[in-house]
């Protein structure tokens, strides 16, 4: 148990991955910490869906390790790269490349599992867990009683306490409709998705359709089934995929919708997809919805003037297409805990705003811009039209492009074709024009020859 000899107190509203990570970190830093949740621990683990795939890479794992918390790198399937396919208008097969992760791995871990284990450790070490629906009125009382109050209730809940940062919020509505489902029945060996990468099942897959949206497959650690695979799809509003996603009402129906999309659009991966099975013991292994990317001014004030700080999705909601949400929440939590542990004065507005500004400049601004790149934002089309063809031509650039998911900071200053070309040359050692001159459309992607029967034999 952590020795609770500090007079400093902290409250965290929300018991998801980010909130519990911050709570455990503050507890280990000597704070007296209370976590508030509207659900008990069993319900948090078993009665709700995971909040997306929570794919994380090196910087996020380093943040967890810095807090002394399990990264799951020895327990979850490791992603060693990303295989990308890009289909243009009328589904023309245009660009294909396979990027390797250099010096880091990706991990997709069920947020319910991670939060549950950290909440258990939190209570075992002396943290206080309170099951209560925290209203704005109750938050005012909680904030009055604690030195530091963090709100980690996600995109709903208490997020309206925090004003939208109109300078950083680009979109007025969601850019995609989402569908995700976790499945079993498929291994992670080199024979799985061998047509996409020599690494087979160690690489995750990203397929981009100019007229429909995006589809991602990756290995996953499910809270009950263990090693598994997860699909995450993004449908452009009004597209055929959008109509299909809307019909999902269960894990089984979501699975059937995914299989049919692969029959009709992504047949190069179809044999593996048809080998997957629903996780029967988890009726919450699927989710559909939409996310409006929003950046908020993360310092809020309760009715009686007490300050609270938003963290995780409450502060910044990203479209999940580039996997930045869970990562950014963990990084924000670690940087905040480290700063709070070293701080000896009051957690006043100046201190809270400085910590949030530090997070925005260190990670969030770059993460939001990289997300826009992978969303095919029209404002970044000229840059995208250099980066993706260059990745097909040059393996070094393919790895650099997919590594923006791990460390998006290099993309932040790139705001023109000239800057994009300079970055391509910096990575490859070859002038961008010379690389792009050798690009030719893929024509037809290689199709899977996977056979589940052959693997079983």
- Token duo for residue 278: 């629903």
Residue 53 pLDDT exceeds 60: yes
Percent of the chain at pLDDT exceeding 70? 97
Same domain, residue pair 130 and 216: no
Number of domains in the chain: 3
Same domain, residue pair 117 and 48: yes
Express each pLDDT in 104-154 by its tens digit.
999 999 999 999 999 999 999 999 999 999 999 999 999 999 999 999 998
342: CATH: 3.50.50.60
Question: Quick one: 141 exposed, middle or buried, by C-beta within 10 A (0-12, 13-18, 19+)?
Answer: middle
C-alpha closest to that of 217 among 233, 195, 236, 194: 233
Q: How far apart are CA 226 and CA 235, in angstroms?
A: 28
Same domain, residue pair 365 and 219: no
Express each pLDDT in 391-450 by its tens digit.
999 999 999 999 999 999 999 999 999 999 999 999 999 999 999 999 999 999 999 999
Same domain, residue pair 262 and 348: no
Same domain, residue pair 339 and 414: no
Q: How far apart are CA 428 and CA 416, in angstroms?
A: 18
Question: Which range (1-15, 23-37, 207-221, 356-370) has the least confidence?
Answer: 1-15
Asked whether residue 443 is domain-assigned, the answer is no
Asked whether residue 235 is domain-assigned, the answer is yes
Domain endpoint, select from 239, 271, 291: 291
- Token duo for residue 283: 């009726």
> Which of the four pLDDT bands, split at 50, 70 and 90, describes residue 1?
very low
Q: Are 98 and 83 in contact (CB under 8 A)?
A: yes
Domain endpoint, select from 264, 291, 318: 291
If DSSP codes are grouped into helix, strand and coil, which group holds residue 239?
coil
Residue 455 pLDDT exceeds 90: no
If DSSP codes are grouped into helix, strand and coil, which group holds residue 194?
coil
Same domain, residue pair 253 and 310: no
Q: Which residues on adjacent β-strands are paired with residue 277?
A: 184
If DSSP codes are grouped into helix, strand and coil, which group holds residue 151?
strand
Express each pLDDT in 63-87 by its tens digit.
999 999 999 999 999 999 999 999 9
Q: Are 152 and 311 in contact (CB under 8 A)?
A: yes
Domain endpoint, select from 291, 318, 351: 291
pTM of the model: 0.96
Position 447 scores a pLDDT of 97
Q: How far apart are CA 76 and CA 55, in angstroms?
A: 11
Q: How far apart are CA 148 and CA 340, in angstroms?
A: 9
Residue 5 pLDDT exceeds 60: no
Q: Are 298 and 290 in contact (CB under 8 A)?
A: no
Q: How far apart are CA 328 and CA 59, in angstroms?
A: 9
Asked whether residue 452 is domain-assigned, the answer is no
Same domain, residue pair 261 and 178: yes
Q: State how far Cα 417 lies from the chain centre.
A: 28
Q: How far apart are CA 146 and CA 385, in angstroms?
A: 51
Same domain, residue pair 206 and 329: no
Distances from the Cα of 421 to the Cα of 39, 96, 378, 427, angstroms:
50, 20, 18, 10
Question: Which range (134-138, 245-249, 384-388, 450-454) has the least confidence?
Answer: 450-454
Asked whether residue 338 is domain-assigned, the answer is yes
Same domain, residue pair 97 and 227: yes
Q: How far apart are CA 51 and CA 45, in angstroms?
A: 12
C-alpha closest to that of 22 among 76, 51, 64: 64
Same domain, residue pair 49 and 126: yes
Q: How far apart are CA 389 and CA 360, in angstroms?
A: 30
Asked whether residue 446 is domain-assigned, the answer is no
Residue 2 pLDDT exceeds 50: no
**What range does the domain containing 278 cover?**
78-108+172-291
> Which of the four pLDDT bands, split at 50, 70 and 90, describes residue 341?
very high
């Amino acid at each position: 148990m952590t020795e609770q000899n500090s007079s400093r107190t902290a409250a965290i509203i929300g018991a998801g991955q980010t909130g519990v990570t911050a709570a455990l970190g503050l507890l280990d830093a000597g704070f007296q910490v209370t976590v508030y949740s509207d659900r008990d621990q069993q319900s948090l683990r078993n009665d709700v869906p995971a909040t997306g795939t929570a794919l994380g890479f090196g910087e996020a794992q380093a943040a967890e390790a810095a807090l002394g918390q399990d990264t799951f790198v020895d327990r979850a399937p490791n992603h060693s790269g990303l295989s990308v396919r890009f289909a243009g208008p009328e589904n023309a097969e245009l660009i294909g490349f396979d990027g390797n992760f250099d010096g880091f791995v990706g991990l997709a871990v069920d947020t319910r599992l991670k939060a549950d284990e950290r909440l258990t450790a939190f209570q075992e070490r002396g943290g206080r867990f309170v099951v209560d629906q925290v209203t704005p009125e109750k938050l005012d009382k909680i904030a009055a009683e604690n030195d530091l109050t963090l709100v980690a209730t996600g995109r709903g809940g208490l997020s309206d306490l925090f004003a939208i940062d109109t300078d950083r919020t680009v979109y007025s509505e969601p850019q995609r409709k989402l569908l995700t489902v976790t499945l079993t029945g498929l291994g992670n060996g080199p024979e799985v998705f061998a047509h996409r990468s020599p690494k087979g099942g160690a690489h995750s897959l990203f397929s981009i359709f100019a007229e429909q949206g995006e589809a991602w497959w990756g290995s996953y650690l499910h809270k009950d089934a263990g090693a598994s695979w997860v699909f995450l799809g993004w449908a452009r509003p009004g597209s055929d995929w959008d109509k299909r996603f809307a019909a999902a009402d269960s894990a089984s129906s979501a699975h059937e919708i995914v299989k049919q999309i692969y029959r009709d659009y992504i047949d190069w991966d179809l044999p593996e997809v048809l080998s997957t099975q629903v996780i029967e013991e988890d009726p919450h292994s699927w989710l559909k919805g939409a996310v409006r990317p929003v950046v908020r001014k993360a310092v809020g004030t309760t009715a009686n003037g007490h300050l609270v700080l938003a963290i995780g999705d409450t502060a910044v909601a990203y479209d999940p297409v580039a996997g930045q949400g869970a990562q950014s929440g963990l990084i924000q939590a670690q940087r905040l805990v480290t700063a709070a542990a070293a701080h000896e004065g009051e957690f006043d507005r100046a201190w809270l705003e400085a910590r949030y500004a530090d997070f925005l400049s260190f990670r969030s601004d770059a993460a939001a811009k990289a997300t826009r790149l992978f969303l095919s934002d029209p404002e970044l089309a000229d840059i995208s039209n250099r980066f993706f063809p260059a990745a097909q031509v040059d393996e070094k650039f393919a790895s650099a492009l997919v590594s923006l998911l791990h460390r998006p900071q290099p993309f932040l200053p790139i705001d023109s074709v000239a800057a994009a070309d300079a970055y391509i040359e910096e990575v490859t050692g070859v002038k961008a024009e010379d690389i792009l001159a050798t690009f030719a459309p893929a024509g037809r992607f290689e199709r899977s020859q996977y056979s589940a029967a052959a693997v079983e034999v």
